[in-house]
Amino acid sequence: MKPVILDVDTGLDDACALLLAARHPELDLRAVTCVGGNVGLDDVVINTLTVLEAAGRTDVPVGRGAALPLLQPMRTAPHVHGVDGLGDLEWPRSTRSPSTTPAVELLREVLLDAAAKGEPITLIPLAPLTNIALLLRTYPEAAAGLREIVFMGGAAGIGNATASAEFNIWTDPEAAAIMLAAAGELAVPVTMYGLDVFYDVVVTLEQARGLSGSPAAELARKLIEKRSELYGAEGASIGDGGAVCAVIDPDGLTTQRFPLRVELGGSWSRGRTIVDTRDWSTDRTSDPHGVSPTVVEVATAVEGSRYAELWLDAVR
């Protein structure tokens, strides 16, 4: 089993990812940490506990993390995820409480324990990167317990929050820049699962309506039905769930290594991930910025039907 931690701002597609990570037999879900994003932090925590209950995984510790971005005000997305973040499905909401250990401390504890046991963990952030930036700058020694970071965010070519920026990066661009810089300095491998592939793992309504017989399957069906309704389509992407698929089955994802930066200024481009596709073996002395010190695996294509079946098999 591959040990993983998810960092989430649980809305509809984070819920798809949580169900997969909690139920797939090849993953050992060690912890889940929460950050404000799709909805406010209080709802993120309740939604996360609710999904884990549906998955039968009340054993997984859930840490409450940053409520706000590092510098800018919070901007949530109720138009995408509903007022409660789970599409206002009227699913019974958890009454459990999260761990008394805050998210950054929980991440540190789990990662240091993994390092001591020689069991490095794959960290899968599916949300604004505030918790991860705080972790790597406050406790850089925790990176010893990291195998890799596979984050959902950014894009090489498109945006969704703005014409330039993807929502998770746009919500806290400073945190994204800090995470990338720290990962480069600490030699932590990073994969960016961005909007270039985000929409390509689609579960049809027909497939979703075959899900029944357990709380996890029922919730999975409702998530796909709600996302299909939202977009007026006969199916829906599992969104963040694709990043978890990529950890389980990396052969289904095509990536290329590129230097990466985050735009922190710009009237129209703040929060954009700048994927540098130039050939740096040639003379680039005219560029005053130089090459980014952090080079990441950028997802460029995904076998959508392969990942859709992987997700369906796990949540059935």
Buried b or exposed e, range 192-213, using 16+ CB within 10 angstroms: bbbbbbbbbbbbebebbeebee
Average pLDDT, the chain: 96
Q: Residues 156-214: pLDDT tens digits?
A: 988 999 999 999 999 999 999 999 999 999 999 999 999 999 999 999 999 999 999 99
Q: Which residues contact 59 (CB under 8 A, 6 or more apart)?
A: none
* Domains by residue range for the chain, with CATH: 2-315 (3.90.245.10)
pLDDT tens column, 296-314:
999 999 999 999 999 999 9
Would you say 169 and 175 are in contact if contact means Cβ atoms under 8 Å apart? no
Closest CA to 247 of 208, 183, 190, 209: 190
The model's pLDDT over 266-283, given as tens digits with 9 standing for 90+, comes to 889 999 999 998 888 777
pLDDT tens digits along 25-46 = 999 999 999 999 999 999 999 9
pLDDT tens-digit map of 151-160: 999 999 889 9
Q: Which one is predicted more confidently, 79 or 312?
A: 312
Report the pLDDT value the prediction gives residue 90, as an integer from 0 to 100: 85
**72 band by pLDDT with thresholds 50, 70 and 90:** very high
Q: Give pLDDT, residue 49.
A: 98
Rounded to two decimals, the pTM is: 0.97
